[in-house]
Amino acid sequence: MTAWKDGHHTQMKKQEEPIEKITVHYICEEMVEPIGQVLMNGTRMTNYLISKCLEDSEYELVVKNTNEFQTTEEVEEFLQEGDISWVDDTSLLQQLFSAGCDRPNIVGPKALSPVKNYNNGTLNTIYSLDWFYGGKVIRLNDNEERAGELKTEIDNKVDWVAKTDFIRHGIDLDVEVLGGEKKYILWAGEAGVPVKNFKFFNEVKHAIRMMGGLPDKYEFRQMSGYWLKDFYDVLEETRVYVCTSMKESFGIAVNEARARGVPTIVKPFLNGNYVGTKQPLQVGYTPVEFARKIREICLNDNLYHEESNKARDYVEDNCTLEQMRDDIVNVFDEVAYE
């Protein structure tokens, strides 16, 4: 594959000691730094972590948000100024396709695939299969390409996952596992988003009440639309973090909790078949099974410490920024040097 530069594709030769960094021009839906009073969501945090993990690589990542552009021509100009072009905004990709523009070298990780339907049956995208899969497609998991949600007119026998490059997500692990009193059974997320399944958390609370309630000193806590610092502060007092999501691209909040040694309950295969099939702590996706495990961890200090250690070990083994950087750089290398 070749790189997109100066309005045409050019073959790049790998040097032993490159004189200057290779530039990657990346347009995403939104990227902000998690400082001050900034509301963070999965998209913003993922893009921030992509930027952070590449700071020490041989590539220079130049990031712009979609709303910084007024015309398609401005988008094309920015992408052509980089050695490698990368876009992860579905609406913008559709505009580029409709305008007859060249496909960026890389798309993803969250851009919608043309092989999948929305829940209401409408087409996911307007760009074609050949255009979208005509270059590098990066993913955090197999949620977009999985066969169960393919459009009926698409050949379900095609291994669409094989047409993507999987990258491991990372988080900043420079945090401590703190001791002290832990009192919260915490749920955090966007309560109004159906896939987060906040209703399930209420059903878990009801099941716990039917079992006799939470042990003394513990209480339920839920956070939605929160400042990041507030979330971190509450995690320091959390005994169990409860993720009720039907699926997650990565689950940043889940792994932020694990990084601080908080036992975290999730459904089996939360991230699809591609990621974390052995991640702790997977429990049958029923309110009763979630409730039982929450009570066990509250009542049994030895079990709590065992699961706390497993949580931290999991992110250290699977969720480092170095792993994320290496996977992304491998994709960059294939674009730049082949």
Task: State the Cα–Cα distance between residues 324 and 251, nearest whole angstrom.
Answer: 15
Query: Which pLDDT score, from 0 to 100, does residue 10 have?
Result: 46
Query: Which pLDDT score, from 0 to 100, does residue 9 have?
Result: 45
Question: The pTM is what?
Answer: 0.83
Give 43-89 pLDDT, tens digit per residue. 888 899 999 999 989 999 999 999 999 999 999 999 999 999 999 99
User: Which of 285 and 34 is assigned the larger pLDDT?
Assistant: 285
Retrieve residue 239's tokens.
Answer: 């005994």
Task: State the Cα–Cα distance between residues 254 and 270, nearest whole angstrom.
Answer: 11
Give 103-132 pLDDT, tens digit per residue. 999 999 989 888 876 554 455 678 988 999
Class of domain 184-318: alpha beta
Task: State the Cα–Cα distance between residues 314 and 292, nearest whole angstrom.
Answer: 23
147 DSSP assignment: G
Task: State the Cα–Cα distance between residues 125 and 94, nearest whole angstrom.
Answer: 7
Task: State the Cα–Cα distance between residues 26 and 171, nearest whole angstrom.
Answer: 20
Task: State the Cα–Cα distance between residues 203 and 192, nearest whole angstrom.
Answer: 16
Distance from chain centroid for Cα 332: 19
User: Which of 119 and 26 is assigned the larger pLDDT?
Assistant: 26
CA 235 vs CA 126, 196, 257, 294: distances in Å: 42, 19, 7, 16
Burial class of residue 34 in the structure, from the number of CB atoms within 10 Å of its CB (0-12 exposed, 13-18 middle, 19+ buried): middle
- Delimit the domains of the chain by residue range: 3-170+321-337, 184-318
How many CA atoms lie less than 13 Å away from 191 in the CB half-sphere? 11
The amino acid at residue 290 is F
Average pLDDT across the chain, whole number: 87
Domain 3-170+321-337 matches domain 184-318 at the CATH topology level: yes
Task: State the Cα–Cα distance between residues 45 and 50, nearest whole angstrom.
Answer: 9
Question: Which CATH architecture best describes the domain 3-170+321-337?
Answer: 3-Layer(aba) Sandwich (3.40)
